């Protein structure tokens, strides 16, 4: 029981730290490109993606914090809405990792997961921007809108995949020093598989 309480407190502290990073990165990161509703800030997804390796609840909490970070640092409503899309996409991704923790030790499968996550991530953000302009909240030429959507879709996919690999690498290294839920479960899965193979 004491260990469970300790783990909860630890995860709460980690969630707070990741949320703080999620707010700070958009504010201070020099590697940032902003073209209207399209913004690409290096490592901006890393805090919420790192939270995916702990729990869906932590992921949801950090996703909301990251959205707040963008609201504070970039005064563009479409960017806020795009950031808010991290809430459903990353939380679902965290549930998948919770159900299949072994993915973190399967190099090809984790990249397939990364690609699928990126498609949903970029796709939902692109949809938000399309709906925003379609409903007339702002005016834009149709050809320019198409180019913008392609930029957000393709650029978002690449950005998502890069940041996921940064988060994966970071959590993989940190898991050797202290417990990270998904990596701990993955070790248990590998140990069971090893025992079965020996039998």
User: CATH number of the domain that 122 lies in?
Assistant: 1.10.1760.20
pLDDT tens for 55-95 read 999 999 999 988 887 788 777 788 888 889 999 999 999 99
Cα(160)–Cα(166) distance, rounded to whole angstroms? 10
Question: In the prediction, which pLDDT does 42 show?
Answer: 76
What would the mean pLDDT of 94-117 be, rounded to a whole number? 96
Cα(158)–Cα(162) distance, rounded to whole angstroms? 6
Q: Is 135 helix (H, G, I), strand (E, B) or coil?
A: coil
Q: Does residue 96 form part of some domain?
A: yes
Supply the mean pLDDT for the chain. Answer: 87
Query: Confidence class of residue 194 from pLDDT cuts 50, 70 and 90?
Result: low
Q: Does residue 161 form part of some domain?
A: yes
Q: Is 153 helix (H, G, I), strand (E, B) or coil?
A: helix
Name every residue whose Cβ is closer than 8 Å to that of residue 124 and which is 6 or more positions away in sequence.
85, 88, 89
pLDDT tens for 132-172 read 888 877 777 888 888 888 888 998 999 999 999 999 999 99
pLDDT for residue 2 is more than 60: no
Q: Does residue 167 form part of some domain?
A: yes
Cα(22)–Cα(107) distance, rounded to whole angstroms? 27
pLDDT tens for 25-60 read 877 776 666 665 666 777 889 999 999 999 999 999
What would the mean pLDDT of 97-109 be, rounded to a whole number? 96
Q: Is 107 helix (H, G, I), strand (E, B) or coil?
A: helix
CA-based nearest residue to 165, from 102, 128, 117: 117
Q: Does residue 194 form part of some domain?
A: no
Find the helix or strand (DSSP H, E) in which 94 lies.
helix 86-99
Cα(166)–Cα(171) distance, rounded to whole angstroms? 9
Question: In the prediction, which pLDDT does 70 show?
Answer: 79
Domain membership of residue 40 as a residue range: 3-180
Q: Does residue 189 form part of some domain?
A: no
CB distance 118 to 161 below 8 Å: yes
Q: Does residue 192 form part of some domain?
A: no
Cα(103)–Cα(29) distance, rounded to whole angstroms? 30
* Structural domain count, the chain: 1
Q: Does residue 195 form part of some domain?
A: no
Question: In the prediction, which pLDDT does 198 show?
Answer: 53
pTM check: above 0.95: no
Find the helix or strand (DSSP H, E) in which 35 lies.
strand 32-35
Sign of the dihedral defined by the CA atoms of residues 122, 125, 131, 133, in that order? negative
Question: In the prediction, which pLDDT does 37 show?
Answer: 60
Question: In the prediction, which pLDDT does 1 show?
Answer: 41
pLDDT for residue 191 is more than 80: no
């Amino acid at each position: 029981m004491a260990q469970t309480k300790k783990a909860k407190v630890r995860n709460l502290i980690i969630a707070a730290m990741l949320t703080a990073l999620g707010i700070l990165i958009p504010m201070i990161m020099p590697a940032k490109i902003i073209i209207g509703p399209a913004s690409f800030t290096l490592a901006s997804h890393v805090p919420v993606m790192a939270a995916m390796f702990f729990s869906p609840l932590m992921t949801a909490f950090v996703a909301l914090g990251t959205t707040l970070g963008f609201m504070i640092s970039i005064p563009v409503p479409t960017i806020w809405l795009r950031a808010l899309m991290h809430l459903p996409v990353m939380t679902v991704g965290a549930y998948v990792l919770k159900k299949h923790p072994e993915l973190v030790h399967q190099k090809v499968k984790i990249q397939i997961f990364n690609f699928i996550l990126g498609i949903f991530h970029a796709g939902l953000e692109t949809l938000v921007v399309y709906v925003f302009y379609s409903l007339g909240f702002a005016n834009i030429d149709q050809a320019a809108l198409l180019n913008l959507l392609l930029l957000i879709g393709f650029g978002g996919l690449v950005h998502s995949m890069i940041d996921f690999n940064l988060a994966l690498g970071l959590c993989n290294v940190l898991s050797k020093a202290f417990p990270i839920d998904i990596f701990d479960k993955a070790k248990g899965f590998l140990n069971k598989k090893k025992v079965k193979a020996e039998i």
